[in-house]
Structure 1
Amino acid sequence: MDGQRERAGRAPQWWRHGPPWWTLRGDEERRPRWPWRSTALVTAFVLFGSNFAAHAQEGERAALDPFARTLLFATGAALLWRQRHPVPVVFGTAVTTLLYLGAGYPYGPVFVAVAVACFSAVVAGHRKAAWAAMGTLWAGHALVAHWLYRWLPPPGDSAAPWGQEIVIAAWVVAVAALSELARARSEQWARERAERAQAARRRADEERLRIARELHDVLAHSISVINVQAGVGLALLDTDPEQARAALGTIKEQSKEALGEVRQVLDTLRTPGDAPRAPAPGLDRLPEL
């Protein structure tokens, strides 16, 4: 148990509470930002990686042409909208990838774009849509590889082995499972943030209650002293003016002390710029008003 606590203490802060860049639904509804950098990186990886894959599969699959490069670019560029419209993006990338494979182009990193789209959709809460898109991709590939290959390029192609379909199915399940794990982790971070916010509100309420009690004690004590001294002053005003003067002096000191304590308590609550302390401008200071 102590070892687990020690390891938890050494763990980075973001692992327990979530990375600062993680965008979640929940306590803060923020409009997601455009993921320019990651989209450009994935798109470049898909384009350049497909070139190497084409050289490695030369003679087995169709060569890359402008249509193939357009499909690859569209598949990667669609990820730019994955945070704002995750469902259309995951289905769009699945369809363009299926068109790419159905046209007989080389296997390669085109699947990376589909994996990223699936990951974003699951994390955003669209689990069924992500699973449906990945299932559609697998079923479409199986249909192309075992039946439609007779009428599709490259010419003279044969049916793909079922072992390849099992590998693709395992890849689909692994991507979806990793996405589910990330979604569960993001929900845990959201719960932890909500609990911390609730604890902060509770501490603020307790602090306000303490300050209210402190102000009540200060004012009650000072007003009680002022009331007693005012009664003494009134009673001795004619018979003992000196004693009445002392009572009035006590009233003045107690009121000044009470005002000072109240001002001190309120100053601790005031943040810079909350409210002006100077008198409000009148008609003689009309421009400022």
Structure 2
Amino acid sequence: MNAPYSRDCGPPPWAGSGGAPSPRPRRVPWLSTLLVAVLVLAGSGFAAKGQPDRERLDAYALALLLLGTALLLARNRWPVASLVGTVATALVYLGAGYPYGPVCTPTAVAAFTVVVAGGLRAALWIGGGFLAGHALIGHWLYQYLPPTGDPGVPWGREVVFAAWVAAVLTASELVRVRREAWARERLERAAAAKRRADQERLRIARELHDVLAHSISVINVQAGVGLALLDSDPEQARTALTTIKAASKEALGEVRQVLDSLRTPGDAPRSPAPGLDRLPELVEQAAGAGLNVTVETVGVRRPLPPGTDLAAFRIVQEGLTNVVRHSGSRVARVRIGYEAGRVVLRVDDDGPATGSDAGGSGNGLAGMRERAAALGGTIDASHRDDGGFRVRADLPAPVKETV
């Protein structure tokens, strides 16, 4: 027969048109279904002109074509039922002897939806049933079905039809796998962005805590001194107020530096992050709070990586803040040991603990541990046997190799 379409219904050139399921679950796909209906009706009408030996397209044929296409409206809500319905209408259409054409296009679209939704096994079973029904009509039942004198379908065309069914299912599975990969990538990117945001919030909170805890502790102590001596020793009260002014100015500068990180990404900070080179300023601030601090350096001092340098400064700062807040001792000892690939910090006071609440948040030790852990180091904070308290930090500090 001189038919422009083979009896295996395809694959028509527009088999993939409108086949992608709607991105919104359970949304009725009106537009894509209308497009498939136009293609099926127009293609079948064109195909009928070249097949005068087939049954003409009557109202029953058009009803089958429209029914098979209309079933696609339910493919997002009931994909398997939609696929079964399109297969059944296609087989009835072929068994009635109507012209070959794009009658299998709705089946391809429905199969695509089933596979993309994760129903590959169901699609394989239904596809196998479609192949069996097609073979039954084309090789055994054709002599009992219209049109009269139909010679049947060569087995070679069955191979082509089976290959087309396999191609539709394979392409659909590849799309499903790719969509799942995209979904996983989106979730991973969202999770990574959330982790970065959480880490940045934690970093800023830790910085603000360390800056404000130390400065406000100094201000708190000096304010108490100033109030106590305001009448009896105005000069000493003036000194306390001067210390408060200097500490608050220093705190404002460091808070501004921390908040600079919230500006437009890519902007350079206005001032470098503090490090152990600013330890003398820290000692001076502690002295303003009435604390006598001695600093001992063991080993050859060397530049530290920026992250380690900042963490070391903040750990010493928090250690001295805890002495000001919670220790009855007015003496603190800071020891900085430079070892091979490490820097070991130690802050000691002789105690005893006052048990008073100096307004702390209770997050100081946790913040120190977080800083150390982020660098791969450790923090040990514990009471000594003699009643004092010790904070010991062991931080990795690789030595830069010079060429």
**How much has 1:243 moved relative to structure 2?**
3.6
- Which shows bigger deviation, 156-165 or 134-143? 156-165
**Which residue matches 1:198?**
191
Match of 1:47 among 17, 30, 41: 41
Q: Does 1:175 align with 2:195?
A: no
Q: Deviations over 1:41-96 (max 9, x none)?
A: 1110001100011111111x211111110111111122122222211111111111
1 CA distance for matches of 2:49 and 2:250? 88
Amino acid at match of 2:37: T
* Matched pairs, number: 241
1 CA distance for matches of 2:182 and 2:171? 17
User: SS of 1:147's equivalent?
Assistant: helix
Q: Does 1:89 align with 2:52?
A: no
**Which residue matches 1:223?**
216
**How much has 1:251 moved relative to structure 2?**
4.4
**Which residue matches 1:64?**
57
1 CA distance for matches of 2:76 and 2:250? 59
**How much has 1:168 moved relative to structure 2?**
0.8
Asked if the contact 2:21/2:76 (under 8 Å) is kept, the reply is no
Greater helix share, structure number:
1
**How much has 1:23 moved relative to structure 2?**
6.4
2 CA distance for matches of 1:192 and 1:174? 27
User: SS of 2:129's equivalent?
Assistant: helix
**How much has 1:131 moved relative to structure 2?**
1.3
Q: Deviations over 1:179-202 (max 9, x none)?
A: 111111111111111211111121
User: SS of 2:109's equivalent?
Assistant: helix
1 CA distance for matches of 2:115 and 2:173? 6
2 CA distance for matches of 1:111 and 1:77? 13
Query: Residue 214 and residue 67 in structure 1: after superposition, are their counterparts in 2 closer, same or farther (change >3 A)?
Result: same
**Which residue matches 1:10?**
none
Q: Does 1:35 align with 2:62?
A: no
**How much has 1:109 moved relative to structure 2?**
0.8
**Which residue matches 1:13?**
none
Query: Residue 32 and residue 245 in structure 1: after superposition, are their counterparts in 2 closer, same or farther (change >3 A)?
Result: farther
Query: Residue 152 and residue 251 in structure 1: after superposition, are their counterparts in 2 closer, same or farther (change >3 A)?
Result: same
Amino acid at match of 1:127: L
Amino acid at match of 1:163: G
User: SS of 2:34's equivalent?
Assistant: helix
Query: Residue 22 and residue 230 in structure 1: after superposition, are their counterparts in 2 closer, same or farther (change >3 A)?
Result: farther
Match of 1:78 among 64, 67, 71: 71
Q: TM-score, normalised by structure 1?
A: 0.75
1 CA distance for matches of 2:197 and 2:149? 74
**How much has 1:164 moved relative to structure 2?**
1.5
2 CA distance for matches of 1:221 and 1:22? 60
**Which residue matches 1:119?**
112
Q: Deviations over 1:8-57 (max 9, x none)?
A: xxxxxxxxxxxxx9867xxxxx6343322211111100011000111111
2 CA distance for matches of 1:82 and 1:250? 76
2 CA distance for matches of 1:250 and 1:22? 71
**How much has 1:257 moved relative to structure 2?**
8.5
**How much has 1:161 moved relative to structure 2?**
1.1
Return the structure number with greater relative CO, CA threshold 8 A, min gap 6. Answer: 1
Greater strand share, structure number:
2
2 CA distance for matches of 1:47 and 1:211? 65
**How much has 1:122 moved relative to structure 2?**
0.5
**How much has 1:218 moved relative to structure 2?**
2.5
2 CA distance for matches of 1:124 and 1:245? 77
- Which shows bigger deviation, 225-234 or 46-55? 225-234
**Which residue matches 2:382?**
none
Q: Does 1:155 align with 2:148?
A: yes
Q: Deviations over 1:124-170 (max 9, x none)?
A: 10111111222111110111111111221112222221111111111
Query: Residue 53 and residue 226 in structure 1: after superposition, are their counterparts in 2 closer, same or farther (change >3 A)?
Result: same
Q: TM-score, normalised by structure 2?
A: 0.55
Query: Residue 214 and residue 75 in structure 1: after superposition, are their counterparts in 2 closer, same or farther (change >3 A)?
Result: same
Query: Residue 154 and residue 22 in structure 1: after superposition, are their counterparts in 2 closer, same or farther (change >3 A)?
Result: closer
**Which residue matches 2:96?**
103
Query: Residue 101 and residue 190 in structure 1: after superposition, are their counterparts in 2 closer, same or farther (change >3 A)?
Result: same
1 CA distance for matches of 2:61 and 2:124? 26
**How much has 1:242 moved relative to structure 2?**
4.3
Q: Deviations over 1:90-136 (max 9, x none)?
A: 11111111111111111111111111111111011011111122211
- Please identify the structure whose Cα radius of gyration is greater: 2
Which ranges in structure 1 are unaligned for 5 or more consecutive residues?
1-20, 25-29, 270-289
What percentage of residue pairs aligned between the two structures are identical?
Answer: 62
1 CA distance for matches of 2:22 and 2:31? 16
Which ranges in structure 2 are unaligned for 5 or more consecutive residues?
1-19, 264-403
